[in-house]
A and B are shown apart, each in its own frame.
Chain A
Amino acid sequence: MNTRTTNLINAGKVILLPVFVYVLFFLCSRGNFGKPASMIMNFKQTLAPTLISYAMCCNMLCGRMDLSAGAVVMLSAMLGAKMVYLYGIGLFPFVLVVVGAGLVLGTISGMMYLLLKVPAIVTALGVCMIYETLSNLASISWVTAINGEITTLGRFPYCLIIFAIMFILFAILFNDTKFGYHVRACASSQQIAKNAGVDTVKTAFICYVVSALFLGVAALLKISIQGSIDTPMYMSSTNIIFNCMLGIYVGLALEQYCNLLIGIFVGNFIMNMLTTGLLSLGLSASLQDTVSGIFLMIIMIFTYNNQRVIDFINNRKMKKELIKANM
């Protein structure tokens, strides 16, 4: 098979997964799920989580679980909304405040990790709690809302343009820069990368800075699309990132067929379809979590083991043919 055919087959495999989820819920909900307007909504809902996934991706590949990412998104959005509430700032300053706050908060999180020299997950939990408390102090109520002109960037085509810019930026950073190669080297083995001359500390810091930028933009998209940001409590900011993490895992599973970036987007799109699909079946919130967990495990098991299954079937075939030939 030539490269073009292989690429086409791989693209087909990647598309097959969301199509399978779509068809499944379409049939189960007797056509309630999956109307064009709903799918556009689903697509829109996927944009901010995908950016959060990109933000977390480099750190996760290098074995650093940044649980403060959700808190960074919520606090950045909260600060922007509060500025609108207090000073009635316009769209441009709003964008600067939200993205700037995301950049600063995410970078501080990275600096804390590098300075404290404690495991990333421990630092992230501490930072997460601090940021949640700051969000509480900055909040107006259970929810801090904005509307009108200030939410312009949450509408089509602006949200799509912002997402496309960030997608291209991440693609360049991850695929075509020294930083991207260093990340992948560190992802394979930090020790080997270090011995090969990669400055792992610098790479980690850049990971956090890149992550911070993407979290800032994700916060901007999130609050612009939703028009409000909840006040986090009980570590609820981590809820935001769990689905995004699952999106990354699906992306990693699909990496053998497509670029990781596309895989992550597909993963997040599937996660959103799962939520809305289960809702269309009338499942309660607690059952939705259970079912989406099981469903995701099935997808992961299938995706990671499909080659083994194919090999097993081929081996059996071959064995049978050999037995037949020897008889």
Chain B
Amino acid sequence: MKRITALLLTLAMMFSLIGCGGNNTAATDDGGADTGNRTAAAGDSADGTTDEVWADDNSGSGEVCGDENGKYTVGVIIHTTTDFLCSKYKAYTDYLGKAYSVKFNYYIIENFADETYLSAIENLCAQGVNAIITTNFSGTAVLQGLKICEENGVYLGVGWSQIEESIKDQVYASDYFVGGSYEADYDAGYEIITSLIDAGCSNIAAIGYEPGITCHDRRWEGMMQAFDDHPEVKKAGEYRGLEFTKAVEDFLASDNTIDGIAITLLGIEYCSEPIKSAGREGQVKIAFCDLSENCQESLDSGETICAIGGQYVDVVFPFVLLYNALEGNPMDKVEVPVNFIICKSGEEFSDYMTYLHSDGVYAWTTEEIDRLIKSKNSEASAKELLQMGAGYSIEDTIARHGE
């Protein structure tokens, strides 16, 4: 009896895990928004995005993408490659890698501790990569990471994060640091609060990722500044941690006059169901950073007031800086501030999807990026990177790529 039970349990476990790792069956592109009638036959794919996220390694969506036989290998340290943002980030590197003969080797980290990043850098160096892009790397641990890179002769570029002012000189002095890029996180935090205020919210709960990740810390600072600048608005409370849905539930249970929730990440996924569960649908507005598949419906319905994102393009900047350095033509070291895309209506999000995010669509094509590669354009300079970051918007992309 015990053996049969053990066998059954093992089989059930195996089925669960196989189901989890399956990659031949279509997934939906809506993050599970619509649960009806979505099963597709094995081998079918619902759309390109599905392939991009779930298909096998041959299509470049495994842990390696770009040009498999590329002359350079660039390691990318990132927390996932499967969500709305990171799958597009990876798709962009695939596109760039194939055009510039670069193989991208993704290293997935399961947390944001400095030790995890340092261990990832060590492992990638041991694998023999030529350069590394670190995303969300803590502003203060860069020096230690750079030391490992220097020892291994590997270039380092930083994405989605800004170097701490106190160590900037030391970091810039290193021959192996090429520069990086970061988003206007402070402004984004400020914007999500002011957009809620503009929408008539007067009692807003603030929720943020636990302290320690530079981009989330900056977003939080921006949110707090907005509260300071608008004393007429009540801050229902603040939560910084990892249990976001519980925090939303707690806020809604503690105060039934809350009419706005500002969150530094993935607002719809964390807030929508708790709002419905509390019977406050239509009464509580949300604003957040990080776009997702569900934004269209939520912006259309008016539940979401402001959704900020589009930061997949960030990869272009460390890539260009690293590629030039690898080619022996390093650019001036620069950290490029990159605009966010702010969507306040379904139409804006639809434009974002059409011109910036849909399959095969990227903010800058390789023809445009060629102008930034010194071996192809000797006039290329870091100034142009700064202009690109500052000019990044839906309108700018429409103007360049047209209808």
Contacts and interface: CB of A to CB of B under 8 A. Distances in A.
Interface of A: 32-33, 35, 37-38, 41-42, 44-45, 79, 81-90, 97, 100-101, 103-105, 107-108, 111, 132-134, 136-151, 154-155, 225-228, 230, 233-234, 236, 239, 272, 275-277, 279-280, 282-285
Given A42-B253, A83-B19, A233-B111, A227 B273 contact: yes
Nearest to B112: A233
Given A145-B31, A277-B254, A285 B238 contact: yes
Contacts of A100: 12, 16
A87 B245 contact: no
Nearest to B34: A148
Interface string B11-40: 011001101101001011001111111110
A259 to B, nearest CB: 26
Nearest to A240: B243
Interface stretch (B78-86, B313-321, B375-383): B78-86
B242 A276 contact: no
A271 to B, nearest CB: 11
28 contacts: A32-B255, A33-B254, A45-B249, A45-B253, A86-B20, A86-B27, A86-B54, A87-B38, A88-B37, A101-B16, A103-B9, A103-B12, A104-B12, A104-B16, A108-B13, A133-B110, A141-B85, A142-B265, A150-B32, A150-B35, A228-B245, A233-B111, A234-B111, A239-B243, A276-B250, A284-B238, A285-B240, A285-B247
Given A104-B16, A226-B249, A145 B254 contact: no
A145 B36 CA distance: 15
A227 B22 contact: no
A53 to B, nearest CB: 16
Of B111, B236, B240, B277, the most chain A CB neighbours within 10 A belong to: B277
A300 to B, nearest CB: 22
Contacts of A283: 237
Of A137, A145, A276, the most chain B CB neighbours within 10 A belong to: A145
B106 interface: no
A280 B205 CA distance: 11
A166 to B, nearest CB: 19
Nearest to B12: A104
A108 B9 contact: yes
Of B9, B28, B54, B278, the most chain A CB neighbours within 10 A belong to: B9
Nearest to A279: B254
Of B79, B86, B251, the most chain A CB neighbours within 10 A belong to: B79
A143 B270 contact: yes
A141 B290 CA distance: 11
A87 B254 contact: no
Contacts, number: 198
A228 B35 CA distance: 14
Contacts of B111: 233-234
Contacts of B251: 279
Interface of B: 6, 9, 12-13, 16-17, 19-20, 22, 25, 27-28, 31-39, 54, 79-80, 82-86, 110-113, 235-247, 249-257, 265-266, 268-270, 272-274, 276-279, 292, 294
Given A45-B253, A145-B272, 4 more contacts: A82-B20, A85-B27, A142-B83, A282-B236
Contact of A227 (B85, B247, B266, B277): B277
B255 A230 contact: no
B249 A149 contact: no
Nearest first, the 3 closest Cβ-Cβ pairs linking A and B are A227-B273, A88-B38, A141-B83
B281 to A, nearest CB: 12
A84 B244 CA distance: 21
B186 to A, nearest CB: 20
A275 B250 contact: yes
Contact of A233 (B110, B256, B270): B110
Consensus secondary structure, chain A interface: helix
A189 B217 CA distance: 50
A172 B25 CA distance: 43
Contacts of B79: 142
A312 to B, nearest CB: 38
Nearest to A283: B237
A86 B28 CA distance: 7
Nearest to A80: B16
Contact of B237 (A45, A141, A234, A282): A282
B9 A145 contact: no
Given A79-B19, A147-B272, A276-B253, A230 B27 contact: no
Nearest to B235: A282
Given A41-B253, A279-B250, A88 B277 contact: no
B273 A145 contact: yes
A155 B273 CA distance: 10
A146 B20 contact: no
A261 B294 CA distance: 40
Contacts of B82: 139-141
A282 B239 CA distance: 10
Contact of B19 (A42, A87, A145, A228): A87
Contact of B32 (A145, A233, A276): A145
A272 B252 CA distance: 12
A227 B272 contact: yes
Contact of A41 (B16, B37, B249): B249
Given A146-B32, A151-B273, A227-B277, A86 B19 contact: yes
Contacts of A105: 13
A87 B240 CA distance: 34
Contact of B277 (A86, A108, A144, A225): A225
A141 B37 CA distance: 24
Contacts of B6: 111
A107 B113 CA distance: 31
Of A42, A97, A285, the most chain B CB neighbours within 10 A belong to: A285
Contact of A37 (B16, B22, B278): B278
A91 B28 CA distance: 17
A145 B269 contact: yes
B245 A148 contact: no
A228 B270 contact: yes
Given A32-B255, A41-B253, A279-B250, A97 B16 contact: yes
Contacts of A37: 256, 278-279
A133 B84 CA distance: 21
A35 B251 CA distance: 13
